[in-house]
């Protein structure tokens, strides 16, 4: 094979490989421990400056967005914790759109989804999820995370239930 044909072949091969890369291959990792649904401590953070893109949550705080409201303000290192309204997809579902919800309460009126916007999520081979996240509309909001067995009430559900230490 001459040099020009080899160069053309290499170019076409690289284009095929690049075209096959999807969100499960090209994402940024968020490892912030303050994002934990069990975190009730300051300082308070926000995701208004987050760059829109595909993200995977990793680290001790958790590996996925919670699918139930955290139930109170000042969770996940922020004033208005953000959770995902809807179930996580299967691999067969592909990329799905879900509603990101910010929890808020005012004068004893609880609003689990007082502010919402669309995000995307997909299940990846290897048992993890990636999310197409956008900046939050307000600096009082940040995305929460939980581990597969965390619950918003501070317990971890496995074979036995363990309570996290109280603050």
Question: For residue 63, what are the CA distances in angstroms to 25, 51, 135, 138?
Answer: 16, 19, 19, 23
b/e code 6-42 from CB counts within 10 Å (16+ = b): eeeeeeeeeeeeeeeeebbeebeebebebbbbbbbee
Question: What does the pLDDT look like over 62-116, one tens digit per residue?
Answer: 999 999 999 889 999 999 999 999 999 999 999 999 999 999 988 888 889 999 9
Tell whether the model's pLDDT for residue 124 goes beyond 60: yes
Tell whether the model's pLDDT for residue 150 goes beyond 70: no
> H-helix or E-strand containing 162?
strand 161-163
Residue 109: other Cβ atoms inside 10 A: 8
Q: Tokens 């649904």 label which residue?
A: 37
- Sequence-ordered list of residues with C-beta below 8 angstroms from that of 102, at least 6 positions apart, any chain: 80, 81, 82, 113, 114, 115, 116, 136, 138, 140, 141
Question: Structure pTM?
Answer: 0.77
Question: What does the pLDDT look like over 1-57, one tens digit per residue?
Answer: 565 554 444 444 444 344 457 999 999 999 999 999 999 988 899 999 999 999 999
> H-helix or E-strand containing 10?
helix 3-20
> H-helix or E-strand containing 98?
strand 96-106
Chain-centroid distance, C-alpha 143: 7
């Amino acid at each position: 094979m001459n040099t020009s044909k080899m160069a053309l072949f290499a170019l076409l091969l690289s284009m095929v490989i690049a075209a096959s890369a999807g969100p499960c291959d090209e994402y940024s990792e968020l490892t912030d421990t303050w994002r934990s649904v069990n975190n009730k401590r300051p300082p308070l953070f926000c995701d208004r400056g987050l760059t829109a893109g595909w993200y995977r949550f990793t680290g001790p705080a958790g590996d996925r967005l919670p699918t139930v409201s955290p139930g109170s303000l000042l969770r996940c290192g922020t004033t208005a914790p953000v959770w995902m309204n809807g179930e996580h997809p299967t691999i067969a579902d592909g990329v799905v759109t879900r509603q990101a919800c910010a929890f808020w309460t005012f004068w004893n009126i609880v609003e689990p989804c007082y502010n919402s916007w669309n995000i995307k999520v997909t299940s990846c081979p290897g048992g993890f999820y990636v999310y197409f996240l956008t900046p939050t509309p307000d600096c009082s909001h940040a995305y929460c995370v939980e581990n597969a067995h965390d619950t918003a009430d501070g317990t971890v559900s496995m074979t036995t239930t363990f309570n996290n230490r109280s603050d």
